A and B are shown apart, each in its own frame.
Chain A
Amino acid sequence: MHVYADNAATTKMSQVAINAMLPYFDKVYGNPSSLHSIGQEAKEALDAARETVAKCLGCEPREIYFTSGGSEADNQAIISAARVGARKGKKHIISTAFEHHAVLHTLNKLEKEGYEVTYLDVKEGHNVTARQVRDAIREDTCLVTTMYANNEIGSILPIAEIGAVCKEAGVPFHTDAVQAAGHLHINVKEQNIDMLSLSGHKFHGPKGVGALYCRRGFPLTNVIEGGAQERGKRAGTENIAGICGMAAALEDACQHMDENMPKVAAMRDKLIEGLSKIPHCALNGDPVNRLPGNVSFCFEGIEGESLLLLLDFKGVSGSSGSACTSGSLDPSHVLLAIGRVHDVAHGSLRLSLSEYNTMEEVDHMLKVVPEVVEHLRKMSPVWRDLQTGKREYIL
């Protein structure tokens, strides 16, 4: 049995998405900017895809800009709001301590340019509150950017409440919804979202394609300069096949959301309940407001990379925020941000599910994860010290 439990990293493409892409490689291969009929056919497909994505988010088609993925959409949203802010003398941005690097590194770049960023604390409940956002807003705040749901620990943020706070204060609100789109109900108008990023490959669509929703009237700054594609805001001949595949996947995901959500959440809950029985472990992330597919734990006394290697050997593909998996010497900033100390952050495991997983696979994971944890603990000097009282348990 092989269990793919790394759906937060990327997903298998659905047949619906693959089929939606195929015509655009060798049949409708025209450039949408061309006047001839092959080009115009491609233009029609592009328009249809834009309409589909807009419908899934509750906005107008003209408010959707296709990008090369979630990272580019995040970059463009943040840079755009920063430029608008600078023109008004406002150079303060509010974000959270557990954003994806696509957001964090863009903010770091702005900090070097003289912007000030407040990173909201996420230790309490492994989440933020709209109250924290309200309290952080200042006269010179030009943007609030918080993720919709966290990719590592699964916490779902109170987006509608944050949107309401931002609207009341007149501050633009961007959300990185890469982990939420296709999995949670989104309505940008009802939730007062000004900008939103999503990425095709997190909901069984293709990689390398994403979208930025930007409320009509909010001026975007180009990240990619060139031709007049995407209403002049994102140059480059459109990735028609990718865009059509993403739109089809998103539509499919939104249509089946109400049946998939409880199915995936039931597998998640069984997995969480079973793994919680392993001694000296802790669940990471908001236990209630949680992505349907996210399971994230820290196990004391072991290291994540060796855990992943052994799990892979036993047919389970997961991920970890340990230093030795990231290639840096520090464990994941998300785990550190929620207050996990280095010692336990190294022993993290994320299993992320989709509707393609089954209860049999959950049972398989419930069998092998405890075995592997025990095997590694048996050879761990840290675990021995914990057991003999030379070192105190943290979890």
Chain B
Amino acid sequence: MALYSEVVMDHFMHPRNVGTIEDASGVGEVGNAKCGDIMKIYLKIENDIIEDVKFETFGCGSAIASSSMATEMIKGKSIHEAMALTNKAVAEALDGLPAHKLHCSVLAEEAIKSALKDYYEKNGIPYDKTQFPDCENCGHCHD
């Protein structure tokens, strides 16, 4: 199907890192079923390094491919590098997404940030709140 690039289709058809982590260091979930995309990210962090990452996604091809790509991009990286991941970088790594599908890739960035926030909170690590999106009013889903 020409709707998506070959990279998107590859990650959609063969998503990397699908699943859950039992004793995850941080878990983040963003989106809601009402707007059609939900992403959940599980992180296993040791010595500030993302040792393992898994995801579950309810959503379109673009949402699933973005989750898969984003998890690949942060695996083995430091939490600071993971914090710096943008949806633009995810979309670029996917060889681009159709314009009306970009909002689906935003969720990947937000899910990772949300999981990192959970990790900081669980471990009492101070963090800069302004770095995190307020998912209660994320703009890509209207009511």
Q: Which of B9, B20, B56, B60 contacts A303 (CB 8 A)?
A: B60
Interface residues of A in 118-154 (CB under 8 A from B): none
> B100 within 8 Å of A by Cβ?
yes
Report A-chain residues with C-beta under 8 Å of the C-beta of B142.
Answer: 329
> A184 within 8 Å of B by Cβ?
no
Task: Kindly state the separation between the CA atoms of A323 and B141 in the bound complex, as whole angstroms.
Answer: 11
Given that A305-B61, A327-B100 are contacting pairs, would A379 and B36 also be in contact in the complex, using a CB cutoff of 8 Å? no
Q: Which of B64, B101, B104 contacts A379 (CB 8 A)?
A: B64
Query: Are B56 and A381 in contact, CB atoms less than 8 angstroms apart?
Result: yes
Query: Are A306 and B64 in contact, CB atoms less than 8 angstroms apart?
Result: yes
Query: Are B59 and A303 in contact, CB atoms less than 8 angstroms apart?
Result: yes
Q: How far is the CB of A323 from chain B (nearest CB, A)?
A: 4
Segment among B27-35, B73-81, B130-138 that sits at the interface with chain A = B27-35
Report A-chain residues with C-beta under 8 Å of the C-beta of B33.
Answer: 342-343, 346, 382
Q: How far is the CB of A393 from chain B (nearest CB, A)?
A: 12
Task: Kindly state the separation between the CA atoms of A351 and B135 in the bound complex, as whole angstroms.
Answer: 36
Q: Which of A306, A343, A378, A384 contacts B59 (CB 8 A)?
A: A306
Report A-chain residues with C-beta under 8 Å of the C-beta of B101.
Answer: 324
Report A-chain residues with C-beta under 8 Å of the C-beta of B29.
Answer: 381
Interface residues of B in 51-108 (CB under 8 A from A): 55-64, 100-101, 104
Query: Are B12 and A309 in contact, CB atoms less than 8 angstroms apart?
Result: yes
Query: Are B35 and A380 in contact, CB atoms less than 8 angstroms apart?
Result: no
Q: Which of B15, B20, B38 contacts A382 (CB 8 A)?
A: B38
Report A-chain residues with C-beta under 8 Å of the C-beta of B34.
Answer: 342-343
> B21 within 8 Å of A by Cβ?
no
Q: How far is the CB of B12 from chain A (nearest CB, A)?
A: 6
Report A-chain residues with C-beta under 8 Å of the C-beta of B64.
Answer: 306, 379
> A85 within 8 Å of B by Cβ?
no
> Interface on chain A toward B: helix, strand, loop, or mixed SS?
helix
Q: How far is the CB of B24 from chain A (nearest CB, A)?
A: 13
> B49 within 8 Å of A by Cβ?
no
Report B-chain residues with C-beta under 8 Å of the C-beta of A312.
Answer: 1
Report B-chain residues with C-beta under 8 Å of the C-beta of A342.
Answer: 33-36
Task: Kindly state the separation between the CA atoms of A313 and B1 in the bound complex, as whole angstroms.
Answer: 9
Given that A324-B104, A329-B142 are contacting pairs, would A380 and B58 also be in contact in the complex, using a CB cutoff of 8 Å? yes
Report B-chain residues with C-beta under 8 Å of the C-beta of A331.
Answer: 36
Report B-chain residues with C-beta under 8 Å of the C-beta of A301.
Answer: 58
> A383 within 8 Å of B by Cβ?
yes
Given that A329-B141, A329-B142 are contacting pairs, would A381 and B13 also be in contact in the complex, using a CB cutoff of 8 Å? no
Query: Are B60 and A306 in contact, CB atoms less than 8 angstroms apart?
Result: yes
Task: Kindly state the separation between the CA atoms of A306 and B37 in the bound complex, as whole angstroms.
Answer: 11
> B117 within 8 Å of A by Cβ?
no
Query: Are B56 and A384 in contact, CB atoms less than 8 angstroms apart?
Result: yes
> A322 within 8 Å of B by Cβ?
yes
Query: Are B36 and A382 in contact, CB atoms less than 8 angstroms apart?
Result: no
A interface residues, Cβ below 8 angstroms from B: 301-303, 305-306, 309-310, 312-313, 322-325, 327, 329, 331, 342-343, 346, 378-384
B interface residues, Cβ below 8 angstroms from A: 1, 4, 9, 12-13, 15, 18, 20, 29, 33-40, 55-64, 100-101, 104, 141-142
| A-B contacts besides A303-B63, A306-B61, A310-B13, 13 pairs, CB < 8 Å | A303-B58, A305-B61, A306-B59, A313-B13, A322-B60, A324-B63, A327-B100, A342-B33, A342-B34, A379-B55, A379-B56, A382-B33, A384-B20
